[in-house]
Each structure stands twice: as C-alpha cells, then as structure tokens.
C-alpha cells in the first residue's frame, strides 16, 4: 500500500521507529483523554442532563434549568464550588476582565507572577493603550514577577507576599505568544502553597486558557480560587460559543 502511494520503505520504517519511540507519550495522552472524557460523562450523568434542558426560556431567564445544570457540570468537572458559564462572555479576555474587575477595587494590588500577561490582557490592565477604563486607570496597582527557567521565582514571590498589601496574584498557565513552556499543575500547586502559607487571604487567579484537561487536576483543585475556562476552538466551531469562570468557593467575592 505504501509502495503504491509512492512512499519509500525508508520513510515507512523511520515513521514506524519514531512512533514506537513515542509510544509511551501517546499512551499518556490517550489515558488522560479517556479519564477526562469519563469525568465529563459522569458530570452529565450525575446532573441528569435531558432534552428539556435544551429548551429556550424567555423573559428574565430565572429558573433556566439548562443554564443552571451547565454551570453545575462545569463546577463538578473542575472541582469548583461554582461556575459562571455564559454565551454573553464574548472571549477569554472578557472572562479574565470580568474576574479582575469583579475582584479588585481602587487601591488594591495585583501581581502577575508568570511574567508579562497575555497580549490582550495588557490593555485590560492598562500596560498598553490609552483606555480610560483599564484596571490601572481605575486605581489598581500592578506589579510583575518574571519566571526563571520556566518556573516561578519562589523566593521573590514569598518575599513580596510577606511585605503585604497583595490582593490578587495572577498566573498564566499556558505560554500565549511567548516562547516559554506551559506551567505544570505541580508548579502551580507549589507556588500557591508558598503564597497561602504566608497569607491565606491572597486570591490566586489562574488564566487556564488551553490548560483544561491537559493534566488530571485543574487549578481549582490545587487551591487556586478562580480560574477562567476557555472553551477551545473545536467546541467553538460546533456552535458552542460559551466561556466561563470557575470558582473554588461558592461566593464569587
């Protein structure tokens, strides 16, 4: 067959050899995929999803069972107590903006501990552009701590948290347009522990874009209070244009 398609024996054998070498990595991905699919199916089953949940409601949207179930499903999958998953959240940047504006008030300090935030978030914060409604223009102070060799600068972060006056710490899990590696859950867990051991009131928010289902735990399961979930491109093209925010604690405040 390969011969008929003009693929040489050498190319075929090389592909076979490489596939063999990568077997373990592919197996890990397949296992994770299976576990994640089971997690999702279980949440659908536990919440008794049925056709009636897909009916439209009109008016103020009170008792919209489908919407309530969807948010329960998200909470369960991501080990959170609450979730806000709505089509009105227009983009990942919007979800991040809602979370930051909801949590931060005039005079509060937020720190990004994974270096420069994602490009579109910079104008939300006020690091670029001249929006009169950016976080900085609304009186929020912004600080940044760089990563070292694709990991957190634990010492510097601990020192800064000890100095006090930190309301929120933001972690961007995936790389965005930068060349760094994504941050693993174990690194996120370790840095959250470092922060919470010093001050348990600091809110840790994770930008989890492209991070969901990559590992068997999610940021909300390692004590991050908030994280935003971004339904990936595949879901989007299937007419499911929702984005959401999950909260480890019931109250979004």
Ligand X SMILES: Cc1ncc(COP(=O)(O)O)c(C=O)c1O
- Please report, as ranges, the residues that interact with ligand X according to CB under 6 A: 91-93, 118, 120, 172, 174, 176, 207, 209-210, 230
Q: Which is nearer to ligand X, 43 or 172 (CB)?
A: 172
DSSP one-letter string for 161-204: HHT----EEEEE-S-TTSSSPPPPHHHHHHHHHHHHHH-TTSEE
Question: What is the distance between the alpha carbons of residues 225 and 222, in angstroms, rounded to a whole number?
Answer: 9
In angstroms, what is the minimal distance from the CB of 109 to ligand X? 21
In angstroms, what is the minimal distance from the CB of 213 to ligand X? 15
In angstroms, what is the minimal distance from the CB of 117 to ligand X? 8
Q: Are 78 and 246 in contact (CB under 8 A)?
A: yes
In angstroms, what is the minimal distance from the CB of 193 to ligand X? 23
Question: What is the distance between the alpha carbons of residues 239 and 235, in angstroms, rounded to a whole number?
Answer: 7
Residues near 240 by beta carbon (within 8 Å), at least 6 away in sequence = 231
Q: Which is nearer to ligand X, 92 or 219 (CB)?
A: 92
- Report the residue number whose CB is nearest to ligand X: 92
Q: Which is nearer to ligand X, 198 or 214 (CB)?
A: 214
State phi, psi for 246 to the nearest 5 degrees: -110, 145
Q: Is 119 helix (H, G, I), strand (E, B) or coil?
A: helix
Question: What is the distance between the alpha carbons of residues 24 and 112, in angstroms, rounded to a whole number?
Answer: 35
In angstroms, what is the minimal distance from the CB of 144 to ligand X? 15
Question: What is the distance between the alpha carbons of residues 100 and 110, in angstroms, rounded to a whole number?
Answer: 9
Q: Which is nearer to ligand X, 180 or 196 (CB)?
A: 180
In angstroms, what is the minimal distance from the CB of 176 to ligand X? 4
Q: Which is nearer to ligand X, 93 or 220 (CB)?
A: 93
Q: Which is nearer to ligand X, 43 or 174 (CB)?
A: 174
């Amino acid at each position: 067959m390969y011969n008929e398609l003009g693929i040489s024996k050498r190319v075929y054998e090389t592909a076979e050899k490489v596939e063999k070498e990568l077997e373990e990595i592919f197996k890990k991905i397949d296992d994770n995929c299976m576990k994640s699919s089971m997690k999702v199916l279980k949440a659908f089953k536990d919440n008794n999803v049925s056709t009636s949940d897909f009916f439209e409601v009109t008016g103020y949207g009170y008792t919209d069972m489908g919407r309530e179930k969807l948010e329960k499903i998200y909470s369960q999958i991501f080990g959170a107590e609450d979730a806000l998953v709505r089509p009105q959240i227009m983009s990942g940047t919007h979800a991040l903006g809602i979370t930051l504006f909801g949590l931060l008030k005039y005079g509060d300090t937020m720190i990004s501990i994974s270096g420069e935030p994602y490009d579109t978030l910079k104008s939300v914060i006020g690091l670029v552009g001249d929006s009169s409604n950016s976080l900085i223009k609304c009186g929020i102070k912004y600080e940044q701590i760089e990563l070292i060799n694709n990991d957190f600068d634990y010492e510097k972060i601990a020192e800064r948290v000890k100095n006090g006056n930190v309301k929120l710490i933001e972690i961007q899990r995936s790389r965005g347009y930068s060349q760094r590696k994504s941050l693993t859950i174990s690194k996120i867990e370790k840095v959250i522990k470092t922060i919470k051991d010093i001050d348990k009131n600091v809110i840790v928010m994770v930008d989890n874009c492209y991070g969901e289902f990559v590992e068997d735990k999610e940021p909300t399961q390692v004590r991050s209070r908030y994280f935003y979930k971004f339904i990936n491109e595949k879901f989007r093209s299937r007419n499911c244009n929702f984005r959401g925010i999950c909260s480890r604690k019931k109250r979004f405040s």
